[in-house]
Structure 1
Amino acid sequence: MPRSVATNQEMRERSRERILGAALEVFAEKGYEAASISDVTARAGVSRGLVAYYFPSKRELAAQLLDRWLDGIAGLLAITGTPDERLAGIIDGALTAAAAGLPVQRLAISLMMQPSTHGVFAEVETRKSARLVLVEDAIREVFAARGAADPAVEEMLLRATLEGVTVKLAIYPETFPLEHVRRRLHAGYGLPAPTTPLPVPSPPVNRLRAKA
């Protein structure tokens, strides 16, 4: 009995997700430059032809993973409430996403920082430019509603701060005191203290050290 269109689509989606998951693991372990398509096919347990069918190149694999990372940032548009509630939600959402998705965070950081791969990041960022503008404008609207003199600068400063936290968290996942940093950010913006902790691990404040 022939498979239905829906069943075929579901099988294609599963194959695609398996390949993307394998690519993320391989890139996280070996780094983008050292990883090969053969590494990805072996990890995914699929043929090279199937990988090529969905992703013509290693660059496209990385681009698709970055695409999802940027979609996660665009998820901040769904946050509602008062300006203070929205700002708290943006901070908490960004920190939770960073802690819960460290492999893709590391990939994004490495691609944007290395001169040889910065073009991949820039290409995806350009592709998502319209949605990113919506995110930037939404954050600027929050700061404008809170009475900021220059909402654009406040938006850039907040994003730079959150991205800096993400970099440190990616380097020191076992020792970065995320909950304490989160509460300091809330206090710094004059927001009420959080009543519940973030749903991710957070060690006590000590010193940032990488674990072997």
Structure 2
Amino acid sequence: MRSRGGADDPSARERILAAAEELFAESGFDATPTSRIASRARVPKGLVHYYFPRKENLLTALVERLPDERIEPSRVVVPGDVAASLRRLVAELDARMRASRLLSHLLWREADTHRAVREALQERFRRVVDQVRAVILATGAGGLAVADVDAASGLLALAVSYRHSVARHEGGSGAGDVDDDCMDREVDFIACALVRSPAPQAR
């Protein structure tokens, strides 16, 4: 059996990733040498390179640690009530973000300069759009035009993504501490626009 901190020790790999997450969020990816990561993780520097031959491999591994944001519509849908359903969806998405706030902070910070991070965030945005669309359709509200549902899904996904991107600058504990009222108004506006917009009549 290998000693604690040795090669092929899963706990050592996890400590390295946890240390990298903390230090990248504190100082940025470029300003954090692997020696600091090794020191924070309490492992030899060579072990960092054993698991992650390039520092960029650490960033890629952190992207893969993002929590799964897929939410089944049945968990949040209030039949016939688009606004209530979307508010419940937003609350679920906020909870997922809060559970990985440090990692979210890191990824938004590094998105401009690292392609893997940027692509991961773009994929997450697309998933949010799809989730909003699925929830709207699952409410069973009648008379909704497909184009309007698509537009509403994109607008709400943008609002949620923006809120999560700036949550790291807030003094509270995460998304939802400062702008719940604003988000509620946006959800109500989108829901009202959807249900009041008549679907085009078939010719």
**TM-score, structure 1 as length reference:** 0.66
Please tell me whether residue 82 in structure 1 is matched to residue 80 in structure 2. no
**Structure 2 portions without partners, runs of 5+:** 3-7, 190-203
Measure the CA separation in 2 of the matches of 1:62 and 1:79: 34
Q: Counterpart of 1:73?
A: 69
Q: Counterpart of 1:40?
A: 37
Q: Secondary structure at the match of 1:56?
A: coil
How much has 1:176 moved relative to structure 2?
7.7
**Structure 1 portions without partners, runs of 5+:** 4-10, 192-212
Q: Where does 1:192-203 land on structure 2 (aligned, <5 Å)?
A: none
Of the candidates 161, 184, 187, which is equivalent to residue 186 of structure 1? 184
Which has the higher Rg, Structure 1 or Structure 2? 2
Matched-pair contact (CA < 8 Å) for 2:156–2:187? no
**TM-score, structure 2 as length reference:** 0.69
Please tell me whether residue 106 in structure 1 is matched to residue 99 in structure 2. no
Measure the CA separation in 2 of the matches of 1:156 and 1:145: 17
Question: Share of identical aligned residues, percent?
Answer: 25
Q: Secondary structure at the match of 1:35?
A: coil
1:124-144 Cα distance to aligned partner (Å, 9 max, x none): 468xx5x87665433212123
Q: Where does 1:27-176 land on structure 2 (aligned, <5 Å)?
A: 27-69=24-66, 71-74=67-70, 76-77=71-72, 80-83=75-78, 84=82, 86-112=85-111, 114=112, 116-117=113-114, 119-122=115-118, 124=120, 136-146=129-139, 147=141, 148-149=144-145, 150-174=148-172
Change (3 A) 1:180 1:172: closer
Q: Secondary structure at the match of 2:29?
A: coil
Q: Secondary structure at the match of 1:89?
A: helix
Matched-pair contact (CA < 8 Å) for 2:73–2:138? no
How much has 1:36 moved relative to structure 2?
1.5
How much has 1:26 moved relative to structure 2?
0.8
How much has 1:40 moved relative to structure 2?
0.7
How much has 1:34 moved relative to structure 2?
0.9
Aligned alpha-carbon RMSD (Å): 3.3
How many positions carry a matched residue from both structures?
Answer: 175
